[in-house]
Amino acid sequence: MDIQRRKDDHIRINLEEDVRSALTTGLERYQLPHEALPELNLMDVETQTTVFQKKVGMPLLISSMTGGTDATDRINAHLAEAAQTKKVAMGVGSERVLLEHPERTAQFRNIRKRAPDIPLFANLGAVQLNYGVKKDDVLRIIDAIEADGLILHLNPLQEALQEGGNTDFSGLSSKISKLIPALPVPLIVKEVGWGIAPKTARLLYDAGVRVIDVAGAGGTSWSEVEKHRLWDEKKQKLASSFVGWGIPTALSIELVKKEVPEATLWASGGLTNGLDVAKVLLLGASMGGMAGRLLSAAQDGPEKIIDLLDLMQEELRLAMFLAGARTIAEFQTKSLIRLV
């Protein structure tokens, strides 16, 4: 099936079907610290931080979602305008479509035009390095959006369930290691919603990857998304068996932080508000990523996204105030309270 059709299917299914994981993120097992006497003026609390030397309004990434069709390009346009207004980082969806349909290059270039100042990240499935994608192809997708970084995503379960999926994940760590010196921007490696295990984190770090987005379980389950694209009943049942698969986001952060404390961690997977972002910051991540809730807001234009980002920023800011932290750096010295 054409990749453009698949992208439109993914958006439709995410908006119309219940594709949540059977697992929770694990963040509900933690309580943010509360200081009844914070010794702060709320007006002095600042959520700003830096991402790859660019200032952002808060440590939130609009996680990679889509792009490459008329419908998905409109979504990216709305997301980019909102990201620029709120000065938050943004990732685009897989740009493999650009390699197969170079006529879509202008649409990807428009993302940077709408968001000239923010950290913007290119995106490609890591497995494509085993299916003919070369260094020059990777440089093309980085150039297309004048990216500040490249996200390589790992999605073995999704590829295994997808019709015509690419399932040869052998030798990828070596190929990633060889690619890194050729990149003009930093590399981030992420899962798509099933989490990063300690062994994988160590393998990636030893390969030269310095930024890992755990993208844990607890949000969208892409096995459920692919289930809704399958016509074969046996394959649908197979996909359904994995609705509870993966490492919950909170646990993945903890495990990876312990295994490779020197790595920079980002955390996505089931985050829904500013308090979730606050929790992952205290678990050891430097940025929280969000997709599903923002996708729903992106259908009609940038205004609803901006309103949602405003709310998330105020949630984070108030959480910082109540924890007695004026800056993100101060906040990250605080500790969560484990409930169970």
- Model pLDDT, residue 66: 81
- Model pLDDT, residue 7: 82
| Cβ within 8 Å of residue 113, ≥6 positions away | none
Helix residue ranges per DSSP H, 209-273: 222-227, 233-240, 249-259
The per-residue pLDDT for range 167-226, each reduced to its tens digit, is 999 999 999 999 999 999 999 999 999 999 999 999 999 999 999 999 999 999 999 999
How far apart (Å, rounded) are the C-alpha atoms in residues 130 and 92?
Answer: 22
* Mean predicted confidence (pLDDT) in 26-55: 98
Burial of 175 from C-beta contacts in 10 A (0-12 / 13-18 / 19+): middle
pLDDT band, very low/low/confident/very high, at 240 (cuts 50, 70, 90): very high
Tell me if 80 is assigned to a ligand binding site.
no
How far apart (Å, rounded) are the C-alpha atoms in residues 30 and 319?
Answer: 14
Q: How much of the chain exceeds pLDDT 90, in percent?
A: 89
Domains of the chain plus CATH, in order, are 3-29+55-302 (3.20.20.70)
Tell me if 66 is assigned to a ligand binding site.
yes
Tell me if 327 is assigned to a ligand binding site.
no
Secondary structure element (H or E) that encloses residue 188, with its range: strand 187-191
The per-residue pLDDT for range 73-113, each reduced to its tens digit, is 999 999 999 999 999 999 999 899 999 899 989 999 999 99
Q: How far is CA 309 from the centre of its chain?
A: 16
Bridge partners of 88? Answer: none
Q: Is the pLDDT assigned to residue 6 strictly greater than 90?
A: no
Helix (H, G, I), strand (E, B) or coil at 212: strand
CB of 266 closer than 8 Å to CB of 190: yes
In DSSP notation, 1-64 reads: --HHHHHHHHHHHHHHS--B-SS--SGGGEE----SS--S-GGG----EEETTEEESSSEEE--
C-alpha to C-alpha distances, 4 to 71, 95, 152, 208, nearest whole angstrom: 10, 11, 19, 32
More confident residue, 340 or 298: 298
- Model pLDDT, residue 129: 98
Tell me if 227 is assigned to a ligand binding site.
no
Tell me if 6 is assigned to a ligand binding site.
yes
Tell me if 65 is assigned to a ligand binding site.
yes
Tell me if 159 is assigned to a ligand binding site.
yes
CB of 146 closer than 8 Å to CB of 119: no
Q: What is the DSSP letter of 193?
A: S
Tell me if 190 is assigned to a ligand binding site.
yes
Tell me if 123 is assigned to a ligand binding site.
yes
How far apart (Å, rounded) are the C-alpha atoms in residues 199 and 259?
Answer: 8
Tell me if 63 is assigned to a ligand binding site.
yes
How far apart (Å, rounded) are the C-alpha atoms in residues 78 and 66?
Answer: 12
pLDDT band, very low/low/confident/very high, at 1 (cuts 50, 70, 90): very low
Tell me if 224 is assigned to a ligand binding site.
no
Q: Is the pLDDT assigned to residue 135 strictly greater than 90?
A: yes
Give the predicted TM-score (pTM) of the model: 0.96
Structure tokens at 73: 């390009």
pLDDT band, very low/low/confident/very high, at 5 (cuts 50, 70, 90): confident
The per-residue pLDDT for range 211-231, each reduced to its tens digit, is 999 999 999 999 999 999 999
Tell me if 220 is assigned to a ligand binding site.
yes
